[in-house]
Amino acid sequence: MVGGGGKRRPGGEGPQCEKTVDEKKSKFCEADVSSDLRKEIENHYKLSLPEDFYHFWKFCEELDPEKPSDSLSASLGLQLVGPYDILAGKHKTKKKSTGLNFNLHWRFYYDPPEFQTIIIGDNKTQYHMGYFRDSPDELPVYVGINEAKKNCIIVPNGDNVFAAVKLFLTKKLKEVTDKKKINLLKNIDEKLTEAARELGYSLEQRTMKMKQRDKKVVTKTFHGAGLVVPVDKNDVGYRELPETDDPATAPQSGRQSETPPQKKKKKEIVFLWFFVNIFSSAYKNDLAFRSPRS
């Protein structure tokens, strides 16, 4: 089994963290995943993954050592995908993996480049969880969820995978009526909560850092995740758009509903503001105005 990678470090099972009085400090300890696998993921995706990504993989290994990616399939209907496929060694079993564009791997219809899928759920709604980044050279700001069959909205669900799955599990518990299933979910809930507590991860849907980020958002964007723009000393980098959301959100209900004049107007607005903002250094406006798959 390829699994979590590498030999365990001396000292027994679980994350090799120094014991401190403040358990929250332990989340800065590295999960027992080899540096080779970490580098392989970063080389393929050109992105750094937060430590909770690796800690959650080790948690799933404890639930199902043989198939960690499927450890939550029977109970929650969730499957670990995307960069987790590399930890599972799945990319090595496919002949075409060498030509695979990893940045498009498990990308759903409305997903913007800032969103990286790591867990999938109900295929009927195309439910998926993913890391959302404000910048590719920074770690994710939170874990978001989206149901691509319903809309393009990305809903923040905590700042780590443990929180996102915990919130999903809590909602699931309210829907289930079968006693055996309830006991199974409660058992997983206890293990997940304990693991998050020991590692120092918050299980809140909106942490203080997420609330602080909200204050930096310059526009909501059509997917609702918001846009944080680094500006220069003159506060240049973004300017308000002279249009409401209506012209650009119309395509989300189906391009067939657009009339030729509407399409022409939209194209004119996009091109005009693209060039205006490039020349005025408001380089992030094109992202704010961008509609899914436009």
pLDDT per residue as tens digits for the range 65-118:
999 999 999 999 999 999 999 999 987 755 555 567 777 789 999 999 999 999
Could you give the strand order of the β-sheet that contains 127-132, starting from the edge strand earlier in sequence? 79-80, 115-120, 127-132, 142-147, 155-156
User: In 10 A of CB 97, how many CB atoms?
Assistant: 15
Most confident of 6-20, 212-226, 229-243: 212-226
Tokens of 132: 């959302």
Question: Secondary structure of the chain: what % helix, strand, coil (to 5)?
Answer: 45, 10, 45
Domain layout of the chain by residue ranges: 23-210, 229-289
Q: What are phi and psi of 48, to 5 degrees?
A: -90, 140
Residue 89 burial (CB < 10 Å; 0-12/13-18/19+)? middle
Which tokens sit at 158?
């905590």
Q: What are 147-156's pLDDT values in tens digits?
A: 999 999 999 9
Please give the C-alpha separations between residue 169 and each of 32, 74, 201, in angstroms, as whole numbers.
25, 13, 16
